[in-house]
Chains A and B, each alone.
Chain A
Amino acid sequence: MSDQRPEKANRPLRSVLATDCGSTTTKAILIEKVGDTYRQTWRGEAPTTVEAPFEDVTRGVLNAAQEVAELSGRKLLTDDGAGILTPEIDPHTGVDAYISTSSAGGGLQLVVGGVVRSMTAESAMRAALGAGAIVMDTFSSNDKRRPHEQIERIRQLRPDMILLAGGVDGGTRKHVVALAERIRAARPRTRLGGGFDLPIIFAGNKSVRENIHDLLDDISDLSVVDNIRPTMETENLGPARDKIHDLFMEHVMAQAPGYSKLMGWTDAPIMPTPGAVGLIMQTIARQRGINVLGVDIGGATTDVFSVFEGIFNRTVSANLGMSYSVSNVLAEAGLPQILRWVPFDIDEKMLRNRIGNKMIRPTTIPQTLEELKIEQAIAREALRLAFIQHKEFAVGLRGVQKQRTIADAFRQGGDDTLVQMLDLDLMVGSGGVLSHAPRRVQSMRMMIDAFAPEGVTELAVDSIFMMPHLGVLSTVNELAATQVFERDCLIYLGTCIAPAGVTRPGKPVLRVQLRLPDGTGVDETLDSMTLWHLPLDHDSSVDAVLTPLQGTLDVGEGPGKPREVSLRGGVVGLVFDTRGRPIVLPDDHSARVTLLRKWVSALGEYPDAGVN
Chain B
Amino acid sequence: MAAVFTPGLKVTEHTIVLKDRRLPLEGEVLVRAGDLVKAEDIVARTELPGKVYPINVANQLSVDPGRLRDFMKVDVGTPVAVGQQLAETAGFLGFFKSESVAPVAGKIESVSTVTGQVIIQAEPIPVQIDAYINGRVVEVIPGEGCLVQANATMVQGIFGLGGEVKAPLVMGVDSPAEVLTADRLAPDMAGKIVVGGCYVPLAALWRAVELGVAGVVTGGFDYDEIKELLGYEVGVAITGGEQLGLTLIVTEGFGEIAMAPATHALLRKSAGRRASINGATQIRAGVIRPEVVVTFDDEAVPAEKYIPPEPQGLKPGDLVRGIRTPYFGRIGRVVDLPAQPAVLETESKARIMEIEFADSTRALLPRSNVESIEQ
Q: Which B residues are in CB contact (< 8 Å) with A51?
A: 285-286
Compute how far the CA of A352 lies from the CA of B253 in the bound complex, rounded to whole angstroms: 12
Contact (Cβ within 8 A) B235 A328: yes
Compute how far the CA of A362 lies from the CA of B369 in the bound complex, rounded to whole angstroms: 10
Q: Which A residues are in CB contact (< 8 Å) with B224?
A: 349, 352-353
Min CB distance, A436 to chain B, in Å? 7
Q: Mark A345-363, 1 if CB is under 8 A from B, else 0.
A: 0000110111111111111
Residue of A nearest to B352 (CB): A367
Q: At the interface, yes or no: A182 with Cβ under 8 Å from chain B?
A: yes
Q: Which B residues are in CB contact (< 8 Å) with A330?
A: 233, 235
Compute how far the CA of A332 lies from the CA of B236 in the bound complex, rounded to whole angstroms: 12
Residue of B nearest to A147 (CB): B54
Contact (Cβ within 8 A) B119 A185: yes
Compute how far the CA of A67 lies from the CA of B2 in the bound complex, rounded to whole angstroms: 11
Q: At the interface, yes or no: B230 with Cβ under 8 Å from chain A?
A: no
Q: Which B residues are in CB contact (< 8 Å) with A364?
A: 6, 323-324, 366, 368-369
Q: Which B residues are in CB contact (< 8 Å) with A174?
A: 65, 114-115
Please tell me which stretch of B81-89, B201-209, B343-351 contacts chain A, meaning at least 4 of its Cβ atoms lie within 8 angstroms of it. Answer: B343-351
Q: Mark A177-211, 1 if CB is under 8 A from B, else 0.
A: 11001101111000000000000000000001001
Min CB distance, A393 to chain B, in Å? 20
Contact (Cβ within 8 A) A324 B284: yes
Min CB distance, B155 to chain A, in Å? 16
Question: Within residues 96 to 124 of chain B, which ones have a CB less than 8 A from any CB in chain A?
Answer: 109-110, 112, 114-115, 117, 119, 121
Q: At the interface, yes or no: B306 with Cβ under 8 Å from chain A?
A: no
Contact (Cβ within 8 A) B1 A106: no
Compute how far the CA of A44 lies from the CA of B109 in the bound complex, rounded to whole angstroms: 55
Compute how far the CA of A364 lies from the CA of B255 in the bound complex, rounded to whole angstroms: 17
Min CB distance, B166 to chain A, in Å? 25
Compute how far the CA of A358 lies from the CA of B346 in the bound complex, rounded to whole angstroms: 17
Q: At the interface, yes or no: B4 with Cβ under 8 Å from chain A?
A: yes
Min CB distance, B6 to chain A, in Å? 5
Contact (Cβ within 8 A) A439 B54: no
Please tell me which stretch of B45-53, B183-191, B265-273 contacts chain A, meaning at least 4 of its Cβ atoms lie within 8 angstroms of it. Answer: B45-53
Min CB distance, B362 to chain A, in Å? 15
Q: Given known contacts A185-B109, A367-B324, is B223 in contact with A355 (CB within 8 Å)?
A: yes
Compute how far the CA of A359 lies from the CA of B159 in the bound complex, rounded to whole angstroms: 10
Contact (Cβ within 8 A) B49 A365: no
Q: At the interface, yes or no: A585 with Cβ under 8 Å from chain B?
A: no
- When A and B form their complex, what is the total count of cross-chain residue pairs whose Cβ atoms lie within 8 Å? 173
Which of A155, A363, A436 lies at the interface centre, i.e. has the most chain B CB atoms within 10 A of its CB? A363
Q: Which A residues are in CB contact (< 8 Å) with B366?
A: 364-365, 367
Q: Given known contacts A211-B114, A361-B371, is B1 in contact with A45 (CB within 8 Å)?
A: yes
Q: Which A residues are in CB contact (< 8 Å) with B119?
A: 181, 185
Contact (Cβ within 8 A) B114 A177: yes
Q: Which B residues are in CB contact (< 8 Å) with A118?
A: none
Please tell me which stretch of A131-139, A368-376, A527-535 contacts chain B, meaning at least 4 of its Cβ atoms lie within 8 angstroms of it. Answer: A368-376
Contact (Cβ within 8 A) B52 A357: no
Contact (Cβ within 8 A) A356 B54: no
Question: Within residues 98 to 151 of chain A, which ones have a CB less than 8 A from any CB in chain B?
Answer: 105-106, 147-148, 151
Q: Which B residues are in CB contact (< 8 Å) with A349?
A: 222, 224
Q: At the interface, yes or no: A285 with Cβ under 8 Å from chain B?
A: no
Q: Which B residues are in CB contact (< 8 Å) with A562?
A: none
Question: Within residues 146 to 178 of chain A, which ones have a CB less than 8 A from any CB in chain B?
Answer: 147-148, 151-152, 155, 173-174, 177-178
Q: At the interface, yes or no: B127 with Cβ under 8 Å from chain A?
A: no
Q: Which B residues are in CB contact (< 8 Å) with A173?
A: 114
Contact (Cβ within 8 A) B328 A148: no
Residue of B nearest to A67 (CB): B1
Q: At the interface, yes or no: B237 with Cβ under 8 Å from chain A?
A: yes
Q: Which B residues are in CB contact (< 8 Å) with A439?
A: 347
Q: Which A residues are in CB contact (< 8 Å) with B117?
A: 147, 178, 181
Selected contact of B348 from candidates A106, A331, A436, CB within 8 Å: A436
Q: Which B residues are in CB contact (< 8 Å) with A177?
A: 112, 114-115
Question: Within residues 145 to 171 of chain B, which ones have a CB less than 8 A from any CB in chain A?
Answer: 158-159
Q: At the interface, yes or no: A86 with Cβ under 8 Å from chain B?
A: no
Contact (Cβ within 8 A) B235 A361: no
Compute how far the CA of A324 lies from the CA of B283 in the bound complex, rounded to whole angstroms: 7
Q: At the interface, yes or no: A302 with Cβ under 8 Å from chain B?
A: no
Q: At the interface, yes or no: B259 with Cβ under 8 Å from chain A?
A: no
Contact (Cβ within 8 A) A353 B223: yes
Q: Which B residues are in CB contact (< 8 Å) with A186?
A: 52
Selected contact of A46 from candidates B1, B51, B286, B347, CB within 8 Å: B1
Question: Within residues 318 to 353 of chain B, which ones have a CB less than 8 A from any CB in chain A?
Answer: 323-328, 344-348, 350
Question: Within residues 370 to 385 of chain A, which ones have a CB less than 8 A from any CB in chain B?
Answer: 370-372
Q: At the interface, yes or no: B254 with Cβ under 8 Å from chain A?
A: yes
Min CB distance, B113 to chain A, in Å? 10
Question: Within residues 207 to 238 of chain B, which ones have a CB less than 8 A from any CB in chain A?
Answer: 222-224, 226, 233-237
Compute how far the CA of A328 lies from the CA of B159 in the bound complex, rounded to whole angstroms: 16
Q: At the interface, yes or no: B18 with Cβ under 8 Å from chain A?
A: no
Min CB distance, A21 to chain B, in Å? 13
Min CB distance, A153 to chain B, in Å? 11
Q: Given known contacts A324-B237, A353-B222, is B158 in contact with A360 (CB within 8 Å)?
A: yes
Q: Which B residues are in CB contact (< 8 Å) with A352?
A: 222-224, 254
Contact (Cβ within 8 A) A327 B110: no
Q: At the interface, yes or no: A227 with Cβ under 8 Å from chain B?
A: no
Compute how far the CA of A23 lies from the CA of B237 in the bound complex, rounded to whole angstroms: 17
Contact (Cβ within 8 A) A106 B285: yes
Residue of B nearest to A332 (CB): B235
Q: Which A residues are in CB contact (< 8 Å) with B371?
A: 361
Q: At the interface, yes or no: A257 with Cβ under 8 Å from chain B?
A: no
Contact (Cβ within 8 A) B254 A357: yes
Contact (Cβ within 8 A) A182 B324: no
Min CB distance, A305 to chain B, in Å? 23
Residue of B nearest to A63 (CB): B2
Q: Which B residues are in CB contact (< 8 Å) with A582?
A: none
Q: At the interface, yes or no: B248 with Cβ under 8 Å from chain A?
A: no
Q: Which A residues are in CB contact (< 8 Å) with B2?
A: 46-47
Q: At the interface, yes or no: B68 with Cβ under 8 Å from chain A?
A: no
Q: At the interface, yes or no: A547 with Cβ under 8 Å from chain B?
A: no
Known: A181-B112, A181-B115, A360-B283. 20 other contacts (CB 8 A): A45-B1, A152-B51, A174-B65, A177-B114, A177-B115, A185-B119, A324-B236, A325-B236, A327-B234, A327-B237, A330-B235, A352-B222, A353-B222, A357-B255, A359-B283, A366-B346, A368-B325, A368-B346, A436-B348, A439-B347
> Please, could you name 26 A-B residue pairs with CB atoms under 8 Å apart, sorted by A?
A47-B2, A106-B285, A148-B53, A152-B51, A177-B115, A181-B110, A185-B110, A187-B49, A211-B114, A325-B236, A327-B234, A352-B223, A353-B253, A353-B255, A357-B323, A357-B324, A357-B328, A359-B237, A360-B283, A363-B4, A364-B369, A365-B324, A365-B366, A367-B324, A367-B346, A371-B346
Chain A to chain B: the 3 pairs with minimum beta-carbon distance, closest first: A328-B235, A356-B223, A438-B347
